[in-house]
Chains A and B, each alone.
Chain A
Amino acid sequence: MSDRLRAVYGQLLAVLFALAIGAIIILMVDESPVKVFMTLLRGAFGDQAKIAGTLLQTTPILICGVAACIGLRGGMFNVGIEGQLFLGGFAAAWVGFALPLPAGVHMLVGLAVATLAGAAWVAIPAFFRARYNTNEVVSTILSNYVAVLLTSYFTIFLFKRPGGWSETPPILPTAYLPELFSFSRLNWGLVIGLVLALSVAWFFRYTSKGYSISMVGSAPKFAEYGGVNVKRQGFLVLLVSGAVGGLAGGVETLGVHHRFMEGFAPGFGFDGLIAALLANGSPIGTIVTALFFGALRSGSLLLEVETTASREIITVIQALIILSVSAQVLMKRRGDSTAGERRWKF
């Protein structure tokens, strides 16, 4: 337990450090850090509608974060969530406008197809990882570009709504994810994200399979020795991680945009990955970190209205968080006294 507390404390420190450097940068552009941070806070949590707006931004980050957690816990670094999100988003839209079905069923089929699309997309890097041991980090990163451009191609050349923007026709209302409140577009997607985070956490903690997979993640040679089929688990982990990434896209399409458009939902996949990293791969922790990044995003809308600081300061702070979190990981590694065991290797 004290280990976990120490980990939380470390991550908190990393965030504070990033915010401090962020404050210095804000000072450098002649703006008051206090004012900027207060504006962010007000923009994110100022009133009911703003809180709902924050939660709306949090939803895709949370689902993508859970997708990343599944990968991280199983020892697979899925950096392709952005691409899986795009494909899932497109697939859900296609079901939404091209496949008339009864209400409710329509929405569920849309989400299911989005999930399958995400899994299918990650299956390519996952196959090469399992079969030829290619580095999944590289192949999933690269698959992002292909996914974004592929969905653009579909949208512009195959399924474009006549006239207007580069977007698909709107989906049928039967496929809408119901909204939670009248005053916001906040929808059941948030509930899906929360349930997903809790069930994934439960899965890793309390099931045999979850135990085996997290052992593959934390000590692959130990897991192999204990009889776990490491390659097979790695493949499955990537597949499920990609499926959840696709689901995030489906939720975004059916819950918020009600169509697929070029450049939809930019950066949620990466934000989710950062949220998961900041939470040390814990799905429950990711609820908190996703909320943090959701708040930054939604608070930043007010930033440009009320201060002279650019919205990009948010990106800067995120980058600083990545840096300080990874610096912390490196420092931890140096401090570890695995050296004591090293001398037993011949």
Chain B
Amino acid sequence: MAVELIGVTKRFGAFAANDDVSIAVRRGEIHAIIGENGAGKTTLMNVLFGLLQPDEGAIRIEGKDMVMADPAAAIAAGLGMVHQHFKLVPSLSVAENVFLGMEIRRNGLIDHAAQIEKTRELSERFGLKVEPTERVSLLSVGIEQRIEILKVLARGARIIILDEPTAVLTPQESRELFQTLRGFVAGGMTVIFISHHLEEVMEVSDTVTVLRNGKHVATRPTAELTKADLVRMMVGRDVSFARRRRERTAGSVVLEVKNLWARDDRRLPALRDASFTVRAGEIVGIAGVAGNGQTELAEVLTGLRPASHGSAVLKGRDLTTQSPAQIREAGLAHVPGDRMVRGVDGGASISANLLMGRQTRAPWSRNGILDWQVAASQAADMIKRFDIRARGPQDTVKRLSGGNIQKVVLAREFTNDADFLLIDQPTRGVDIGAQESIHDEIMRQRAAGRAVLVISVQLDELLTLADRILVMFNGRIMGEVDGDGADSERIGMMMAGVEAGAATGGAAR
């Protein structure tokens, strides 16, 4: 066994982040540790790496009992940890970052040539392509991660822990990372991989350990499990992401977008000639790889970005000439894609966040004076209705988990009685259990006769929710697909820029 954790318990006050967790990791395997946010994955790894001291339990590395007093002890024992948030110095070169704190010296000075040489050698040996002399600030996130891994390798790690390594990567970069990891275990190293992205776990790991509420649920070979099994073990119940059953309820046109163009922040055309409608009682999905004009579309529709051409008419009012306040008045509710920037004021209370957009309306405000009591009691209602896990209306929003913050935004926007809902990335960074309840809520809005436009980079989500799916590529709408029986292959082709007709033709052949 490369790593054994035996009965590890870590408490923070009365709360046990890890409760009697025992895991054995075999040498030469990729061992995934999965669980929802707050299940105790990161705490457990911090205990293993000496960043936290356990209250009970023991750690064995290669069969030997170890006390991980600090990360130095863990590194000496052959462990290396790649954190979720990179700890690189942007102004230094790749090689300087790799050897930071353990510089190769010659005559008391840093031997840059040797560091560069050594970095290049490591990078070639492990297939982690980097240019050692390049400045870190100029590199992409995927390459930054390679540097983090190189740092760990340079310190002689044989057991590598990666905390949510793919959260920041594009699918392409993730695939390259997996290849590297397979190379590691083929060479006799051991990889521990924390994730809550199930496809990846299924794809790359040999063994899976599931944690829930700080407790160990199961450790099994990945091959014996299905995705549904994993979800059930993580959440503790069955969660369905099958397509939601529905009646056709599409009514009159609520939003009509015609030949809409807009520029991005660099003044380049980012939205090109988009035309579509959204009807009452239907969910229209916008699919596409991030950065293909979806953000600009959302911003134009909400008045946060000017359109350069075209119109977007919401119940007879052209939104392109209106301010955000006027558009809200016309009947828009908006769940923004970057919730921490646009969606909430993290430092304010839940009450105060739920008040936004209503601060001048009764009953929240009378004659310009706010009624905080009404705000608090409504907030309490919404906390209950949307199942927001918080201590109460006065709780500071930034203290909540990502899923609960998203629910605060949804609660505010869905209770506005707006006819048109624009939901950008409904479940980004949200736990599986919470995802399901958010989807339920969106379906309820549809049933209530609202016109819903859902923008998502997760195609699965649109296949679950949407009546019609529009695919965006390079600022254009490439085509439309009916939600029932939608073919993800075909949508994928359109997302990559292949015309709808051509895609069908390709499939036919």
Contacts and interface: CB of A to CB of B under 8 A. Distances in A.
Interface in A203-223: 206-212, 215, 218-219, 221-223
B402 interface: yes
Given A221-B341, A222-B342, A344-B428, A211 B336 contact: no
Interface string B322-355: 0111011100001010111111111110001001
Nearest to B375: A211
A228 B324 CA distance: 8
Interface residues of B, number: 44
Interface string B351-375: 0100111011000010011101000
A16 B17 CA distance: 36
Interface string A170-184: 000000000000000
Contacts of B372: 206
Ordered nearest first, which 10 A-B pairs have the shortest CB separation? A227-B325, A219-B345, A226-B356, A341-B340, A208-B359, A225-B342, A208-B365, A346-B290, A339-B85, A226-B357
Contacts of B291: 346
A17 B4 CA distance: 46
A8 to B, nearest CB: 16
B370 A206 contact: yes
Interface of A: 1, 3, 206-212, 215, 218-219, 221-229, 336, 338-346
Contacts of B357: 226-227
Contacts of A219: 341, 344-348
A344 B342 contact: no
A203 to B, nearest CB: 10
A214 B12 CA distance: 34
A206 B323 CA distance: 26
A221 B342 contact: yes
B288 to A, nearest CB: 12
Nearest to A219: B345
A215 B365 contact: no
B369 A207 contact: yes
Interface string B301-323: 01010000000000000000001
Contacts of A209: 368
A225 B324 CA distance: 7
A301 B58 CA distance: 65
Contacts of B345: 215, 218-219, 222
B355 A218 contact: no
B304 A222 contact: no
B396 interface: yes
A211 B346 CA distance: 15
A211 B338 contact: no
B239 interface: no
B355 A211 contact: yes
A109 to B, nearest CB: 28
B102 interface: no
Nearest to A225: B342
B167 A222 contact: no
Given A208-B360, A211-B359, 10 more contacts: A3-B396, A218-B347, A219-B345, A222-B341, A222-B345, A227-B327, A338-B340, A339-B85, A341-B339, A341-B340
Contacts of A218: 345, 347-348
A225 B336 contact: yes
A210 to B, nearest CB: 8
A6 to B, nearest CB: 11
A228 B326 CA distance: 10
Contacts of B334: 225
Contact of B356 (A206, A222, A346): A222
25 contacts: A207-B370, A208-B365, A210-B370, A211-B352, A212-B359, A219-B341, A219-B347, A222-B342, A222-B344, A223-B356, A225-B324, A225-B334, A226-B357, A228-B325, A336-B398, A339-B85, A340-B402, A341-B338, A341-B339, A341-B429, A342-B85, A343-B85, A343-B167, A344-B429, A346-B290
Nearest to B352: A211
Nearest to B167: A343
Most chain B CB inside 10 Å of its own CB: which residue of A208, A218, A225, A339: A225
Nearest to B334: A225
A343 B342 contact: no
A209 B369 CA distance: 8
Contacts of A224: 304, 324, 342
Most chain B CB inside 10 Å of its own CB: which residue of A207, A209, A340, A345: A340
Contacts of B339: 341
B120 to A, nearest CB: 29
A300 B59 CA distance: 61
B168 interface: yes
Interface in B369-411: 369-370, 372, 394, 396, 398, 402
Interface in B268-325: 290-291, 302, 304, 323-325
A181 to B, nearest CB: 36
Nearest to A226: B356
Contacts of B327: 227
